[in-house]
Amino acid sequence: LEATVTLHPDFQVGPIDRRLFGSFVEHLGRAVYTGIYEPGHPTSDEHGFRRDVADLTHELGVSMIRYPGGNFVSNYVWEDGVGPKEDRKPFIDLAWRTIEPNEVGTDEFLQWAEREGIEPMMAVNLGTRGVAAAAALVEYCNGEAGSQWADMRIANGREKPYGVKLWCLGNEMDGPWQIGHKDAHEYGKLAAEAGKAMKLVDPSIELVACGSSSMYMDTFGEWERTVLSYTYDIVDHISMHAYYEEKNGDRASFLGSATAMDRFIERVVASADAIGAQKRSDKKITISFDEWNVWYLETRFVGEKNLPLQRDAPRIIEDVYSALDAVVVGDLLVTLLNHADRVPVAALAQLVNVIAPIMTEPGGEAWRQTTFHPFAHTARLAQGSVLDLRVDVPTMTTTAHGDVPVVTAAATWGGASAEGTGDVALFLVNRSAEPATVTIKHPGVRLDLAGGIELLADHVGMREGKAAAEEVGVVERDAPGSAEGTVTITLAPESWSAWHGT
Ligand code: AHR
């Protein structure tokens, strides 16, 4: 199996926005309580936040975190989650049927993110609430002293505005499961009005309109068209959400998931640009891919669809990942990188315990799942701009996605070094069960790859617990062979790898 990748630094997709390496913390299961926050844990700071989880978050390379939901936000009264903790009341979160203790709210989260140097992305409730509550929250977070909601923040102990830049106008409002679900016209009008009010409070913010919850929603396409016809001039981004899983042992289709993501992005871009064309607008709507991951939603989530009312941070959707899942996560990152021109913001859903790269035991350890590795290495190595590659590869036929490329590739070119060359990173995935020989052509430009990191989709299956999960790790690869103008890399079957050099 042979593939050819041609690169040249003069041909670029665009610079990488660091917000592409975002993640997500929802009030769901153990994401907040016993996830990022656990007073009394041996590593917790004076605010009750776990140091071990924060350290792994940095190692993962997360730049931005979306909060507080997710489905949770559509029934959230943010005012009840601020002020003295002893005055806050527990309530029933209708999304996950859990008693929310209300110990962590807007201030606790934003101060944690600030201490950790992570950009927050906030969501407003457009399910059970509307324009006024959304505008008030922007004022609470970003307003200067001298008006009602900003003064409430100051009275709660926080003088300086948080300066939250990124805001989601609700969450998955197309989904019938969403509390306060709306049709595209209802949502489009509400999002436009809420967005207008929010930007009148703080014109510097960026807004994300809800796109479809997945490409497979019946309303997909029409939803984007209608919502953007109301919101085009107000919003900056439209959201995309996608989760992939192996169904019925169909490994090939699962390995082709990133091609489905690729097509999804192209379709949403086409829908957005069609509205722009109709409006004769020079503005381009970009994508906030603010939920993506492998999630065994249809296969393992079944029992959790009819949740009993629970309390005390129940274990909900704590998927355990295999090495194969990690290869697919690496491939999804390849797709995101290759769309750097239209996808500036993305969030791996989620960060800790809930379909997450980081797991914890209450009172105990925190560890990396298999999916941690491709994310961490990509976030670290992908610097500068994404190159516009020419990739010549055979295809394989899959049941779910038709023909998909057997090998996928992305390359990044960092800032110029003293010798005038950039730092290069190359990400390669071999989806086939055969080894693949990839010839990298780099006409007229030097390319010295110093080595690589490889992750193989073994057949061992899930990796439950710290020891099993961390056994996967990644293997180091030596510098590949090179000749004049070419580098040749052999990829193991069903593998993700990242190569670095100058
Ligand atoms: O990430 C888990 C859930 O998936 C989120 O709450 C929701 O937005 C999506 O359906």
pLDDT at res. 214: 96
For residue 174 and ligand 1, the question of a CB distance below 6 A is answered with no
Residues of the chain falling short of pLDDT 70: 302-305, 415-422
Q: In testing the pocket of ligand 1, which one of 71, 295, 297 has its CB within 8 Å of the most ligand atoms?
A: 71
Query: How many angstroms separate the Cα of 100 from the Cα of each of 70, 406, 408?
Result: 14, 46, 43
Nearest CA to ligand 1 atom 6: 70
CA of 149 to the centre of ligand 1 (A): 29
pLDDT at 133: 98
Residue 208: which of 229, 235, 233 has the closest Cα? 235
Nearest CA to ligand 1 atom 3: 70
Q: Residue 297: what pLDDT?
A: 86
Q: Which amino acid is located at 263 in the chain?
A: R
pLDDT at 304: 59
Q: If you take atom 4 of ligand 1, which residue's CA is the nearest one?
A: 70
Q: What ipTM was predicted for this assembly?
A: 0.99
Q: Which pLDDT score is estimated for 422? A: 54
In this prediction, residue 459 carries a pLDDT of 82
Sign of CA dihedral 34, 37, 39, 43: positive
Paired tokens of 392: 């010549």
**Ligand 1 nearest atom to the CA of residue 317, by list position:** 2
In this prediction, residue 474 carries a pLDDT of 83
Give the number of other CB atoms < 10 A from CB of residue 179. 18
Please work out, in degrees rounded to the nearest 5, the angle formed at the alpha carbon of residue 387 by the alpha carbons of 273 and 499. 135
pLDDT for res 421: 47
> What is the predicted pLDDT for the residue at 415?
64
Q: Hey, is 416 helix, strand or coil? A: strand
Q: List the catalytic residue out of 172, 193, 224, 246.
A: 172
Q: Is 172 designated active site? A: yes
So what's the pLDDT on residue 469?
Answer: 87
Q: Which residue in 139, 291, 454, 494 is the catalytic one? A: 291
Take atom 1 of ligand 1 and give the residue whose Cα is closest. Answer: 349
300 vs 315: CA distance, rounded Å = 13
Q: Is the CB of 350 under 6 A from ligand 1?
A: yes
| Cα-based angle 120, 125, 127 (whole degrees, multiple of 5) | 145
Kindly state if the Cβ of 93 falls inside 6 Å of ligand 1: no
Q: Is 290 a pocket residue for ligand 1 (Cβ < 6 Å)? A: no
- 237 CA → ligand 1 middle, Å: 19
Average pLDDT, the chain: 95
Verify whether ligand 1 is closer than 6 Å to residue 70 (CB atom).
yes
Q: pLDDT by residue (tens digit) across 386-444?
A: 999 999 999 999 999 999 999 999 999 986 544 444 589 999 999 999 999 999 999 98
Q: Is 75 in the pocket of ligand 1 (CB under 6 A)?
A: no
The reported pLDDT for the residue numbered 302 is 60
| CATH numbers and ranges of domains, the chain | 17-383 (3.20.20.80), 386-501 (2.60.40.1180)
Please state the pTM of the whole predicted model.
0.97
Q: Which pair of structure tokens corresponds to residue 423? A: 């730092």
| pLDDT score for 335 | 98
Tokens of 379: 């976030």
Q: How far apart are CA 132 and CA 45, in angstroms?
A: 35
For residue 286, report the distance from its CA to the centre of ligand 1, in Å.
21
CA of 70 to the centre of ligand 1 (A): 5
The pLDDT score that the predictor gives to residue 314 is 93
